[in-house]
Amino acid sequence: MPDWLALYYDDPIEITHGEGRHVWDSSGRRYLDFFGGILTTMTAHTLPEVTKAVTEQAGRLVHSSTLYLNRPMVELAERIARLSGIPNPRVFFTASGTEANDTALLLATTYRRSNTVLAMRNSYHGRSFSAVGITGNRGWSPTSLSPVQTLYVHGGVRTRGPFAHLDDRAFIDACVADLKDVLGHTRPPAALIAEPVQGVGGFTSPPDGLFAAFREVLADQGILWIADEVQTGWGRTGDHFWGWQAHARSGPPDIVTFAKGIGNGMSIGGVVARAEIMNCLDAHSISTFGGTQVTMAAGLANLTYLLEHDLQGNARRVGGLLIERLRAVTAGLPWVREVRGRGLMIGVELVRPGTDEADPRAAAAALEAAREGGLLIGKGGGHDSSALRIAPPLSLTVAEAEEGAAILENALRSLY
């Protein structure tokens, strides 16, 4: 394995099995899972409905590629198309979120005949060559080489940067002015790609309505809006099914990318776009592993469970409780700069006490202490990974939220 393939923890753990919101390591120790394989175990570990669907499909046929008719793929595409909010939509499945964003870039640059792309500072869109090229977080961008010209604009981080002191309305106005200034210095770009809530960036987000304000400027030049919903989709933010709906004044995006939670651990990514955009390619294109029968069966079962059990509503209720609990227990800790987030997508940013300076060592120590207490969390952020990332399966119970908050409180109090 390569040196850059990082592992969590000084003494890395092997996760051998899971159930519900818990996993077990190879020594038999049980953990409450508040990271879900990087926001991928969306409903629950070994959810019986998904396991049954995968097993039954695997007993019939595992794979055939997109060169043959594929009923599960068509059925899932139809459901996602209806849920997308995009008029006259078309859906293309991939095997990952990185590949979904690659596809979105291919569509946008081909449709617009431009290789310039707008992206947000502190963003993350995947690990491929083109996805790295539009990633605005230097910790995850190992090269400045790129097949596209990327221009970065303000707005993804509300509480840091030159506009942090402004109120929400003034913040949006300043970001729009910045966008207009950037557009005044370049030929019209193909698209703006943006995460409604920045995932790897530490669960930061702009005020509601920012991207609607951006859209009004972009539409004047025909510039497309790509919403990267790889981490925010499927109701995780609680208030909305898609993260872009917090910015819905100007209607849905032109392109939406998705992955992670829809497969509940199976490799599903994809793109939804208006038919005229999706159909703009004038060369053959297929997918060997995108839309394979087993992953589509998992996606159908998982999406059905999520909708029938109102896991979006649960994310709103239990996530709201968890955020307020964490704010209460960290209120007196000078090394906790901010508890932020929506639904079950929560960030805790750590700083050196008495300063505004990010403290990645404290974040690493908190990760270790939480693990010792029986809780698995993640970390990220644009300042050398100084934010803790909390994103449990959307079926999290109130009792589990309280348990996790107590463990995290103890971990944070142990830092100094």
Please state the domain extents for the chain: 15-33+310-413, 51-308
pLDDT band for position 98 (50/70/90)?
very high
Residue 177: pLDDT over 80: yes
CATH number belonging to the domain at 51-308, selected among 3.40.462.20, 3.90.1150.10, 3.40.710.10, 3.40.640.10: 3.40.640.10
What's the confidence (pLDDT) of residue 383? 72
CB atoms within 10 A of CB 212: 17
What's the confidence (pLDDT) of residue 93? 98
Average pLDDT over residues 248-256: 91
| DSSP bridge partners of 45 | 20
Provide the H-helix boundaries in 67-128.
71-84, 97-112
Spatial distance between the Cα atoms of 350 and 339, rounded to a whole number of angstroms: 9
- pLDDT over 70 percentage in the chain: 100
Spatial distance between the Cα atoms of 335 and 316, rounded to a whole number of angstroms: 27
Q: What's the mean per-residue pLDDT of the chain?
A: 97
CB atoms within 10 A of CB 412: 23
Q: Among residues 185, 171, 256, which one has the least CA distance to residue 214? A: 171
* CATH class of domain segment(s) 15-33+310-413: alpha beta
Residue 250: pLDDT over 80: no
What's the confidence (pLDDT) of residue 91? 98
Spatial distance between the Cα atoms of 278 and 8, rounded to a whole number of angstroms: 38
Helix (H) or strand (E) holding 171: helix 168-183
What's the confidence (pLDDT) of residue 248? 85
pTM: predicted TM-score of the whole model, two decimal places: 0.96
Q: Among residues 36, 44, 127, 135, which one has the least CA distance to residue 389? A: 36
CB 100 within 8 A of CB 125: no
What's the confidence (pLDDT) of residue 124? 96
Spatial distance between the Cα atoms of 49 and 70, rounded to a whole number of angstroms: 21
The Cβ-side half-sphere exposure at 333, using a 13 Å CA radius, reads 25
Average pLDDT over residues 345-360: 96
What's the confidence (pLDDT) of residue 263? 97
Spatial distance between the Cα atoms of 277 and 298, rounded to a whole number of angstroms: 28
pLDDT band for position 144 (50/70/90)?
confident
Note the pLDDT tens digit of each residue in 280-331.
999 999 999 999 999 999 999 999 999 999 999 999 999 999 999 999 999 9
